[in-house]
Amino acid sequence: MTLSGSGDSQSGSARAHFVLVPMMAQGHTIPMTDMACLLAEHGAQVSFITTPVNAARLEGFAADVKAAGLAVQLVELHFPAAEFGLPDGCENLDMIQSKNLFLNFMEACAALQEPLMAYLREQQRSPPSCIISDMMHWWTGDIARELGIPRLTFSGFCGFSSLVRYITFHNNVFENVKDENDLITITGFPTPLQLTKAKCPGKFSIPCMKKICKKFLEEELKSDGEVINSFQELETLYIESFEQTTKKKVWAVGPMCLCHRDNNTMAARGNKASMDEAPYLQWLDSVKPGSVVFVSFGSLACTTPQQLVELGLGLEASRKPFIWVIKAGAKLPEVEEWLADGFEERVKNRGMVIRGWAPQLMILRHQAVGGFVTHCGWNSTIEGICAGVPMITWPHFGEQFWNEKLVVDVLKIGVEVGVKGVTQWGSEKQEVMVTRDAVETAVNTLMDEGAAAEETRVRAKDCAIKARKAFHEGGSSYDNIRLLIEEMGNRMNAGG
């Protein structure tokens, strides 16, 4: 963002007031901070619900919206971690030490219902006109019904994966499938699609996950619509089909990351960067445009140390320049030992390792970056699309496998590294799913100078051009965000 002013509020009527309730996980919160800016830039008022620990991480965002004079207010609610058996201060999914605590975390979130309701009731001078809630906060449904205002769902999925989720869940597609590797044809999908049970989100073995997912999806069915961080021209067929299948209005308002227009706000996005950006930018400035491979697996995926070593060896063998982000976490010391034992020396001047949080958006947008090895989280995928950078897809869990299909089979802007199954969150299994040879082959295929790789690059650049068109004045997402604000404002002025 170089955030632009305080927006053009609707004349003659009360300003629409959006209450944004993000899941406390960086992959869910970050796009909602972008959403808050966009809504406010277009004239709405925003209350952004958070908790103390998360508010501290949002300091950069708070400073940016303040500097731009945007009507965005952070609302901090006490997070009852200890009451639900979580360590004190455990207020974000990336702080959970064991998957067995996931349910505790979700219950602590649900306990925010009462304080949020009380806060919203107090807002008599500017009552909320609409809640945009993360799908996982199923408990916001009751608040919206009680206040008589619409609740829109934000899942963080693209249209393609939202539709797969909807069909596979509501039709119990994988229920009686015995062989996990059987290819199952997904009927009701607008284009031919075959999936295996081995790569579906149910494989993400968290206790009670199925039960809680049912709650998310039941509330989604009752919601008044969906907001998605995608754009019409990228996946028209799937967005329209999702809308027809669910019989709900889908507001495609992305790519929301395009609200960031300068390095400062990009660097402040999400957590504080773990390193000084200057040497990385200097290095990127010094290398050939389009030559660097950027490797990052988002904020939650737990790649095993063995797999990380294998990935590093593959990058080394490819002989291509790279920036590799290795998340801070319990396993980092094990990898650290290996990195220090010759790897960093061998790849000196050609490969850079970032330990911890990287300013991903800023790096991806640098002209030196020509390939992105991604876990296919939707934010990373859409950020790659906006940067016009072709991808090597390495899904770990959840809908990431479906995003891979969109990238590789539909948009044809990437190559698969060849992942066969889910990497379980918090799993201790010492698995290597992808060999160094597979990494080397994928990197060389993507960065190749031949015709096939060039065509992939051209398609990726074309997607980036379309993304910008959709986002800026006169584009589909630009219009959608205005229509969304207008509709919610009108409902409010008409008395609900």
Distance CA 62, CA 461 (A): 32
Q: Quick one: which of 251, 357, 425, 478 contacts ligand UDP (CB under 6 A)? A: 357
Q: Which tokens belong to 153?
A: 């769902």
| Tokens 């706000």 belong to residue | 265
Q: Quick one: which of 16, 19, 30, 315 contacts ligand UDP (CB under 6 A)? A: 30
16 or 362: CB nearest ligand UDP: 362
By the rule CB under 6 A, 380 interacts with ligand UDP: yes
318 or 379: CB nearest ligand UDP: 379
By the rule CB under 6 A, 378 interacts with ligand UDP: yes
By the rule CB under 6 A, 325 interacts with ligand UDP: yes
Instruction: List the x/- string, 231-270, binding to ligand UDP by CB under 6 A.
Output: --------------------------------------xx
Distance CA 166, CA 239 (A): 12
In 3-state terms the chain splits into helix, strand, coil percentages (rounded to 5) of: 45, 10, 40
Q: Quick one: which of 196, 229, 232, 296 contacts ligand UDP (CB under 6 A)? A: 296
Of 24-32, 214-222, 225-233, 311-319, the window that binds ligand UDP (rule: CB under 6 A) is 24-32
Minimum CB–partner distance for residue 78 and ligand UDP (Å) = 25
By the rule CB under 6 A, 403 interacts with ligand UDP: no
Q: Which tokens belong to 54?
A: 């998360």
Q: Which tokens belong to 293?
A: 């491979």
* Backbone Cα Rg of the chain: 22
258 or 361: CB nearest ligand UDP: 361
By the rule CB under 6 A, 363 interacts with ligand UDP: no
Minimum CB–partner distance for residue 446 and ligand UDP (Å) = 19
| Ramachandran sector of residue 65 (left: φ over 0; alpha: ψ -120 to 50; beta: rest) | alpha
Please, which residues have CB within 8 angstroms of residue 462's CB and are 6 or more apart in sequence? none
By the rule CB under 6 A, 300 interacts with ligand UDP: yes
Instruction: List the x/- string, 76-95, binding to ligand UDP by CB under 6 A.
Output: --------------------
Please, which residues have CB within 8 angstroms of residue 454's CB and are 6 or more apart in sequence? none
Instruction: Give the 3-state DSSP-derived string for 78-145, with helices as H, strands as E and coil as C.
Output: CCCCHHHCCCCCCCCHHHCCCHHHHHHHHHHHHCCHHHHHHHHHHCCCCCCCEEEEECCCCCHHHHHH
15 or 137: CB nearest ligand UDP: 137
What angle separates helix 305-318 from helix 436-447, to the nearest 10 degrees? 40
Q: Quick one: which of 241, 299, 304, 307 contacts ligand UDP (CB under 6 A)? A: 299
By the rule CB under 6 A, 298 interacts with ligand UDP: yes
Burial, 34: exposed, middle or buried (Cβ in 10 Å; 0-12, 13-18, 19+)? buried
Minimum CB–partner distance for residue 263 and ligand UDP (Å) = 13
Of 62-70, 221-229, 243-251, 354-362, the window that binds ligand UDP (rule: CB under 6 A) is 354-362
383 or 404: CB nearest ligand UDP: 383
Residue 296's beta-bridge partner residues? 374
What angle separates helix 209-222 from helix 159-170, to the nearest 10 degrees? 110
By the rule CB under 6 A, 29 interacts with ligand UDP: no
380 or 477: CB nearest ligand UDP: 380
| Tokens 């009701």 belong to residue | 188
Of 6-14, 104-112, 375-383, 484-492, the window that binds ligand UDP (rule: CB under 6 A) is 375-383
Minimum CB–partner distance for residue 253 and ligand UDP (Å) = 16
Q: Taking CB under 6 A as the criterion, which residues in 466-485 touch ligand UDP? A: none
Minimum CB–partner distance for residue 365 and ligand UDP (Å) = 11
Distance CA 322, CA 60 (A): 28
Residue 137, number of CB atoms within 10 A of its CB: 27
| Tokens 């693209």 belong to residue | 158
Distance CA 269, CA 108 (A): 26
Residue 332, number of CB atoms within 10 A of its CB: 16
Q: Quick one: which of 21, 358, 406, 411 contacts ligand UDP (CB under 6 A)? A: 358
By the rule CB under 6 A, 385 interacts with ligand UDP: no
143 or 158: CB nearest ligand UDP: 158
By the rule CB under 6 A, 135 interacts with ligand UDP: no
374 or 476: CB nearest ligand UDP: 374
Distance CA 23, CA 122 (A): 23
Residue 66, number of CB atoms within 10 A of its CB: 12
323 or 453: CB nearest ligand UDP: 323
398 or 489: CB nearest ligand UDP: 398
By the rule CB under 6 A, 27 interacts with ligand UDP: yes
Given the rule CB under 6 A, which residues bind ligand UDP? Answer: 26-27, 30, 269-270, 296, 298-301, 325, 357-358, 360-361, 377-380, 383
